């Protein structure tokens, strides 16, 4: 069944990453909304869309829509998703779900009242390396997770000279407020923060945490690295086993091999030596390592009534609550 979507936000992210995933999931853009006429008419031409609205309230009132999608920004995500839900329409929204946890809670409440799902764009759950890691952790052989360390960095580009890190927290850190508990299998319990700021706009902080299930960990986040370098790494520690995920695509599973130096017959033991995976970027296939395609496929299936394990507004609310706890510690 072709789904008719009303789409809000014709900016960079929608145009480059999200809208190209719609057609292949049998989703037709029936109407568009953006306050920037030029951006909207460009996307309208590209996808053959004639119903163009500058106000999201007019878009959600367009007849014949099956759901609303949006990649705009925190305040509009909250307001437009509530408007869509009040018309009985399911929603796909990019992160963050709102500017505050209270806003995300209002969307969650509207979703419950309407009985319609809100899928939130936590595509890092779908990135190839993270997904492989989650599957390994769940299949049982890894055993108990003991510790988790990681890094999520970005550059000061958007924040130069600007000591207000709201954008960094809302647009970047929120990803790990979802991903880390998702991988650990439990929520943060204690949280501590240490920070350093060499100049306005540049911040580095270490978030220390424990989780309800006993996992301990630390995530390094900040605005002091170049986006021309890999930005993310994760280390998950078990007992004589550890998983490393670098740059969301390179995965290594270290286990418990025998020493090899003194063994002239040493080879590699498939049951004990390191397993690793890295993708082939020369494959003439548009492989989805970042996870946008898989996320939109799950969002479409959910709107069609299938049961998929998608990140929802309840996950978005938890992520915003964790984020606010973290910000309070940073700004204390
Ligand atoms: N998951 C990811 O990897 C990822 C990556 C980038 C951006 N995003 C998210 O996507 C969202 C958009 O980011 P972007 O980089 O595309 O920003 P952008 O500024 O390029 O695009 C936003 C668009 O929304 C429009 N807009 C703003 N206010 C509006 C309003 N009141 N009514 C109608 N249109 C309005 C703007 O004119 C613009 O075209 C953000 O929430 C961001 O966090 C997610």
* DSSP result, 271-296: TTSPEEE---TTSSS---SSSHHHHH
Classify residue 149 by burial, with Cβ atoms within 10 Å: 0-12, 13-18, 19+.
middle
Please identify, in words, the CATH class of the domain defined by 3-121+293-311. Answer: alpha beta
**Half-sphere exposure of 20 toward its Cβ, with a 13 Å CA cutoff?**
10
Please identify, in words, the CATH class of the domain defined by 127-288. Answer: alpha beta
From 17, 42, 57, 72, the mutation candidate for ligand 1 (largest count of ligand atoms within 8 A of CB) is: 72
Task: List ligand 1's pocket residues with C-beta within 6 A.
Answer: 8-14, 33-36, 39, 56, 71-73, 76, 94-95, 121, 123, 171
pTM above 0.95, yes or no: yes
Classify residue 224 by burial, with Cβ atoms within 10 Å: 0-12, 13-18, 19+.
middle
Instruction: Print pLDDT tens along the chain (332 aa).
Output: 899 999 999 999 999 999 999 999 999 999 999 999 999 999 999 999 999 999 999 999 999 999 999 999 999 999 999 999 999 999 999 999 999 999 999 999 999 999 999 999 999 999 999 999 999 999 989 999 999 999 999 987 666 677 789 999 999 999 999 999 999 999 999 999 999 999 988 999 999 999 999 999 999 999 999 999 999 999 999 999 999 999 999 999 999 999 999 999 999 999 999 999 999 999 888 899 999 999 999 999 999 999 999 999 999 999 999 999 999 999 99
Q: How far is CA 229 from CA 12, 226, 247, 284, in A?
A: 21, 6, 9, 24
Q: 13 C-alpha vs ligand 1 centroid, how far in Å?
A: 7
- For 110, the token pair is 């509207």
Q: 10 C-alpha vs ligand 1 centroid, how far in Å?
A: 7
Q: In 183-323, where do the E strands start and end?
A: 188-199, 202-211, 216-222, 232-237, 242-246, 250-254, 275-277
Domain extents in the chain? 3-121+293-311, 127-288
């Amino acid at each position: 069944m072709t789904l008719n979507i009303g789409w809000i936000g014709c900016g960079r992210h929608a145009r480059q990453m999200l809208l190209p995933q719609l057609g292949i999931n049998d989703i037709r853009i029936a109407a568009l909304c953006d306050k920037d006429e030029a951006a909207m008419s460009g996307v309208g031409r590209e996808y053959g869309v004639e119903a163009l609205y500058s106000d999201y309230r007019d878009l959600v009132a367009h007849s014949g829509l099956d759901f609303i999608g949006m990649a705009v920004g925190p305040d509009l995500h909250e307001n437009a998703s509530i408007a869509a839900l009040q018309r009985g329409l399911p929603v796909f929204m990019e992160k963050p779900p709102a500017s505050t946890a209270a806003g995300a809670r209002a969307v969650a409440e509207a979703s419950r009242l309407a009985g319609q799902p809100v899928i939130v764009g936590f595509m890092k759950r779908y990135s190839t390396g993270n997904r492989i890691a989650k599957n390994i952790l769940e299949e049982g052989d890894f055993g108990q997770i003991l510790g988790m360390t990681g890094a999520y960095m970005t550059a000061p580009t958007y924040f130069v000279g600007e000591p207000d890190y709201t954008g960094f927290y809302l647009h970047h850190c929120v990803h790990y407020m979802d991903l880390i508990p998702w991988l650990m299998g439990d929520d943060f319990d204690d949280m501590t923060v240490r920070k350093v700021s060499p100049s306005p706009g540049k911040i580095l902080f270490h978030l220390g945490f424990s989780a309800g299930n006993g996992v301990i960990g630390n995530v390094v986040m900040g605005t002091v690295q170049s986006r021309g370098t890999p930005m993310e790494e994760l280390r998950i520690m078990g007992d004589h086993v550890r998983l490393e995920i670098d740059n969301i695509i390179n995965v290594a599973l270290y286990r418990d091999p025998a020493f090899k130096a003194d063994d002239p017959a040493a080879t590699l033991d498939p049951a004990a030596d390191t397993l690793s995976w890295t993708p082939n970027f020369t494959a003439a296939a548009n492989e989805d390592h970042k996870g946008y395609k898989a996320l939109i496929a799950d969002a479409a299936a959910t709107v069609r009534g299938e049961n998929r394990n998608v990140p929802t507004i309840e996950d978005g609310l938890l992520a915003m609550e964790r984020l606010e706890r973290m910000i309070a510690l940073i700004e204390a």
